[in-house]
């Protein structure tokens, strides 16, 4: 994966290319403009894959290209057709409605785990599909280069195997670090969930003391200045998710 600065550069260049403002992208993604600004500047510690997916959709560009996982800026019709079911499965999990048997923090954690695991599945599948498309366009060149040593079928199998091996090496490295990622994700979620609940409660209280005759209920102002960028993004997304799932 490329670094956060390069990811931000790609997002900004594509947005500018389409003539979109940051606010337009933020509205399409469902986040604050400040969050999109931090993504574009690279001033964000934890790149959220669901956010990248949404940004890619808003910018009509392959999300995997945005994070350097694909060399293809846009997806061909053949690619879209082959990966349709995997994308449908991924989106169904990401849009999975809240399980009433779990509390809010557990739901966020579980969705996070699913998204990470499915992302790796998508990476393998999409890379394999891309390699097959690449093979079709360059088959003659490869066969001419290796025809004295291998049959056409062997050349094709070697080419596709190399593509998969490269991805499997990356996946193995990720699997080794996954337990640490899980522990870190759960710790971050649980440590922030109380802050999220307080913020949501404060919004409800604000609605009350803004009513005529109830000004005396106004609380002392609170600020989030001590939060890190990562914590602010986490809160923005979690509150948006809470409000979406609790609409009446």
Domain boundaries, the chain: 1-72
Q: Residue 9: in which H helix or E strand, if any?
A: helix 4-18
Could you list the beta-strand ranges (E) of the chain.
none
DSSP class per residue in 21-88: -HHHHHHHHTS-HHHHHHHHHT--SS--HHHHHHHHHHTTS-HHHHTTS-S-SS--HHHHHHTHHHHH
Task: Please say whether the structural domain 1-72 has been given the CATH code 1.10.260.40.
Answer: yes
Mean pLDDT lowest among 59-63, 72-76, 203-207, 227-231: 203-207
Q: How many whole angstroms separate alpha carbon 91 and alpha carbon 129?
A: 19
Q: Residues 184-203: what's their mean pLDDT?
A: 58
Say how far residue 150 (Cα) sits from the centre of its chain. 41
3-state secondary structure at position 14: helix
- Here the tokens at position 216 are 């005396």
Res. 204 pLDDT band, cuts 50 70 90: very low
Would you tell me how many other CB atoms lie within 10 Å of the CB of residue 81?
A: 11
Please check whether residue 110 is in contact with residue 182, taking contact to mean a CB–CB distance below 8 angstroms.
Answer: no
Q: Residues 89-105: what's their mean pLDDT?
A: 55
The confidence score (pLDDT) of residue 221 equals: 41
Has this prediction a pTM greater than 0.85? no
Q: Residues 123-132: what's their mean pLDDT?
A: 72
> By C-alpha distance, which of 120, 216, 217, 212 is closest to 167?
120
Q: Residues 60-88: what's their mean pLDDT?
A: 72
The confidence score (pLDDT) of residue 86 equals: 62
Please check whether residue 86 is in contact with residue 137, taking contact to mean a CB–CB distance below 8 angstroms.
Answer: no
Flag whether pLDDT at 100 surpasses 90.
no
Flag whether pLDDT at 12 surpasses 60.
yes
The confidence score (pLDDT) of residue 64 equals: 80
Flag whether pLDDT at 198 surpasses 70.
no
| Residue with the larger pLDDT of the pair 159 and 107 | 159
Would you tell me how many other CB atoms lie within 10 Å of the CB of residue 171?
A: 15
Task: Give the range with max mean pLDDT: 36-45, 71-80, 167-176, 198-207.
Answer: 36-45
The confidence score (pLDDT) of residue 84 equals: 65
The confidence score (pLDDT) of residue 218 equals: 47
Q: Residues 212-217: what's their mean pLDDT?
A: 46
Res. 46 pLDDT band, cuts 50 70 90: confident
> By C-alpha distance, which of 229, 224, 195 is closest to 36?
229
The torsion defined by the Cα of 7, 105, 116 and 185, in degrees rounded to 10, comes to 70
Q: How many whole angstroms separate alpha carbon 163 and alpha carbon 128?
A: 7
């Amino acid at each position: 994966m490329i670094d956060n600065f390069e990811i931000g550069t790609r997002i900004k260049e594509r947005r500018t290319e389409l003539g979109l403002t940051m606010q337009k992208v933020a509205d399409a993604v469902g986040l604050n403009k400040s969050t999109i600004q931090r993504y574009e500047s690279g001033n964000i510690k934890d790149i959220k894959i669901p956010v990248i997916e949404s940004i890619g959709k808003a910018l009509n560009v392959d999300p995997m290209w945005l994070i350097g996982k694909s060399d293809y800026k846009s997806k061909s019709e053949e690619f879209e057709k082959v990966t349709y079911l995997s994308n449908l499965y991924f989106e169904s999990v990401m849009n999975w409605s809240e399980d009433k048997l779990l509390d809010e923090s557990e739901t966020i954690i579980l969705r996070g785990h699913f998204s990470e695991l499915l992302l790796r599945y998508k990476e393998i599948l999409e890379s394999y599909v891309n390699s097959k498309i690449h093979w079709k366009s360059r088959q003659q060149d490869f066969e001419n280069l290796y025809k004295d040593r291998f049959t056409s079928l062997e050349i094709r199998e070697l080419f596709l195997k190399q593509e998969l091996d490269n991805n499997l090496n990356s996946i193995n490295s990720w699997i080794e670090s996954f337990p640490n990622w899980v522990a870190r994700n759960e710790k971050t979620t649980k440590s922030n969930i109380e802050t999220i609940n307080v913020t949501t409660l404060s919004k409800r209280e604000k609605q009350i003391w803004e009513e005529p005759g109830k000004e005396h209920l106004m609380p002392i102002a609170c600020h989030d200045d001590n939060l890190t960028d990562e914590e602010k993004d986490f809160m923005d997304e979690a509150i948006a998710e809470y409000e979406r799932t609790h609409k009446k």
